[in-house]
Amino acid sequence: MASKMMDALMELCQEKHIDQLYLIDCLEQSLSKSYADILHLEYGAEVTIDRATGKVYVYELVPKGEPDEETGEYTEFDKKDVTPKDTSRIAAQHAKAEINAIVRNSAREQIYEEFSDRIGDIITGTVLQSTPDFTIVKIREGVEAELPHFDLRRFENERNERPAGERYMHNQRLKAVIIDVRDPNSTMQPQRGERSRPPIVISRTHPALIKRLFELEVPEIYEGTVEVKSIAREPGQRSKVAVHSLDDRLDPVGACVGPKGSRVRTVVGELRGERVDVILWDADPSVFVANALSPAKVSRVLIDEEKSYAGVIVPDDQLSLAIGKEGQNARLAARLTGWHIDIKNETLAADILKNIPVPAAVDDDLISDDEPRRCQYVSEDNIRCRNQARPGSRYCGVHEQDAIEGAEDLI
């Protein structure tokens, strides 16, 4: 019996890639605690398993000498053989439980070593099981991941990584991004049931998922010719992706959209119909903000770099489009650019600017003739000309003659 148990242990160790000596040491420690309780041994027991035959020996620890003066505990013990007749049966029961625990922990350690450096990578898996709190996804044989979608009102410390409205069926193929790998040797207090759940945590709501999907569909992004500068996302509804090309001859937006929209359409299909806007990134904040508010047309952008503030003026008929449904377009644009965006239509902006006092004009004697000045002509609509004045004159070439004729009428 003992020899058969030892052969089975050795075979299992080879199959599961577990160190044989480590397994036997764990069994000895587990059996020592059990036999101390079974035999009611006051000072505990020590168990030894013969490495060759698998026979189990149980020794009672008998104190020797005097106890320690500070702790009152014995430090030296003699051993008394108290091996029962049915040690093999009890050892087999403990071996089964211990092996299962070691195999689970060993598998989790191997998974942690393999996947801990892959956080942010995309994986493709098959849905095995879906519960109200999480979905189990099979990555490959023996490796499973968890897609959590807990009710955060009930479980504040858990995650919700499933876009609203998504539901998963058994054996459904799914793409997701790795956001965490649980360390089996961590000393931190685990969450509820975390030890029994898969060690890999994946997400369908993380912005990195969109970037990885574009890398799969757009060779220019994978090769590094086109960069994804930033992503703003409201999972399941709409996303904005800012892209930039390192090659001046390549249109980054066109590369991401693809022929007849084929590339971006594939990404949208994987995201279950989530709308994806591809935006051209620009080093000029005003241009970038204007692009980010697409598809709305922008008249003017005023930038305050100290406060990270962008004041945007749009035509009256573009205001609702720039803001978007429930402010979604403006909200995503602000996340994408990192600027606080305030949108106003042209009519409201004109009313505001009308009430702002104009600074007093500088005396002409204090202005050098060599310094460029703006044309002083003001139309009947109270709009000042934007042209530069001609040298020695207060007006540009277009309005200089009008000013002369107006002065003659006053004589």
pLDDT for position 369: 45
pLDDT for position 329: 95
pLDDT for position 251: 94
Q: How many CA atoms lie within 13 A of 250 on its CB side?
A: 18
CA distance 116 to 109: 10
pLDDT for position 34: 81
Tens of pLDDT, residues 82-94: 888 776 666 667 6
Compute CA distances 112 → 116, 194, 204, 212, whole Å: 5, 15, 21, 22
pLDDT for position 402: 61
Could you tell me the two tokens for 141? 């044989």
What average pLDDT is seen over the chain? Answer: 83
Domains recognised in the chain with CATH numbers: 2-114 (3.30.1480.10), 119-185+197-205 (2.40.50.140), 282-356 (3.30.300.20), 365-411 (no CATH)
Ranges of the chain whose pLDDT falls below 70: 1-3, 5, 16, 87-92, 94-95, 186-195, 353-373, 380-383, 386, 390-393, 397-411
CA distance 191 to 251: 47
CA distance 101 to 395: 89
pLDDT for position 275: 94
Secondary structure class of 369 (helix, strand, coil): coil
- Give strand pairing partners of 121: none
pLDDT for position 125: 94
Tens of pLDDT, residues 168-183: 999 999 999 999 998 8
Evaluate whether 205 touches 163 at the Cβ level (below 8 Å): yes
Strands (E), 256-339: 275-280, 300-304, 309-314
Residue 257: exposed, middle, or buried by beta-carbon count in 10 A (0-12, 13-18, 19+)? middle
Evaluate whether 101 touches 22 at the Cβ level (below 8 Å): no
Evaluate whether 56 touches 38 at the Cβ level (below 8 Å): no
Could you tell me the two tokens for 358? 């104009």
Q: Residues 45, 50, 54, 55: is their CA dihedral positive or negative?
A: negative
Whether this model's pTM surpasses 0.85: no
